[in-house]
Structure 1
Amino acid sequence: MIRKKYLADLIYHVNGAAIEVHKNIGPGLLESIYHKCMIKELSLRHISFKSELIIPIEYKGLELESDLRCDLFIEDCLVLELKSVNQIIPIHIAKLMSYMKLLNSPIGLMINFNVTNIYHEGQKTYVNELYRWLED
């Protein structure tokens, strides 16, 4: 069973990877560039992930084909959505929360690289109802 402490440590390491990417290439580039850099940085840190994971959709007991893709699904428990936008808007958050639900992930992280200080402005953690059932 996943523990809250494990998730907190994982978020710490993923944020560290994002800070390293941002420090090296800065803001203002396309999301796809940050995605490639995050893949490299997570690999260097030996953090397992799935990139562009197709998210399964189950509807009334049937599995439907889907075009939904999660940017990064880390350690099979953390949904990571990457952005390079002026502002995170509610639909970005709704999308992340939906991905978390569909992947049975208790936690998600939104990282926006189009900021001056990624640690203070560019990252936010989201939890869903699964999180409260985890052990400390």
Structure 2
Amino acid sequence: MDHNAQRDPQTYALIGAAMAVHRELGHGFLEAVYHDALEIEFTKQGIPFLREVPIPIYYRNILLKATYRADFVCFDAVIVELKAIDMLSGKEEAQILNYLKASKKHKGLLLNFGNKSLQHKRIVLNLQENT
């Protein structure tokens, strides 16, 4: 088995599904097309997921009206955010970091279908409090 698959089988499976979609469709479509295709691929590969998951945001333990919406939450543990842009930047990483903080989840995966090759970035957030 591949070393990356042993280290983190969930994100390895998600990247594999994204690569299958990118191989089939290539780059240049709108983000919504990749959402639909990835949903089909997740189902085909038996990857558990929820799509367009609302993430509530709290300030001083008060629920705010504003919410985030994650493209996918897979394995009930990994937030997956899709993009179809020329190149990933710090802005997209900050977005998924905020999703992780608000959801109290530890792993995120940023997927960009807008380039000739699929771009992916695994993001891990350590939520442990300093004591």
The interval holding the TM-score normalised by the smaller chain is: 0.7 to 0.9
After superposing on structure 2, the runs of 4+ consecutive aligned residues of structure 1 that deviate more than 3 Å are none
Q: What is the distance in 2 between the residues matched to 1:65 and 1:51?
A: 21
**Contact 2:54-2:68 within 8 A present in 1 as well:** yes
SS in 1 for 2:71: strand
RMSD over aligned Cα atoms: 1.7
Counterpart position of 2:124: 127
**Contact 1:18-1:38 within 8 A present in 2 as well:** yes
The residue identity in structure 1 corresponding to 2:80 is L
SS in 2 for 1:27: coil
SS in 2 for 1:125: strand
> Hey, which of these two has a bigger chunk of strand by percent?
2
Normalising by the residue count of structure 2, what TM-score does the alignment of the two structures yield? 0.88
The gaps in structure 1 that reach 5 residues or longer are 132-136
Counterpart position of 1:78: 78
The residue identity in structure 2 corresponding to 1:96 is I
> Which gives a bigger RCO, structure 1 or 2 (Cα 8 Å, sep 6+)?
1
Shift of 1:117: 2.1
Normalising by the residue count of structure 1, what TM-score does the alignment of the two structures yield? 0.85
Shift of 1:7: 7.3
1:103–1:7 CA distance, 2 compared to 1 (3 A): farther
The residue identity in structure 1 corresponding to 2:126 is E
Shift of 1:41: 0.5
Aligned residues: 124
The gaps in structure 2 that reach 5 residues or longer are none
Q: What is the distance in 2 between the residues matched to 1:111 and 1:128?
A: 17
Alignment of 1:41-56 (within 5 A): 41-56=41-56
Q: What is the distance in 2 between the residues matched to 1:53 and 1:37?
A: 17
What does the per-residue CA deviation read over 1:21-80, in whole Å, with 9 as the maximum and x for residues that have no partner? Answer: 001111010001001111110011111111111111111111223342101111111010
Matched, 1:109 2:109: yes
Counterpart position of 2:58: 58
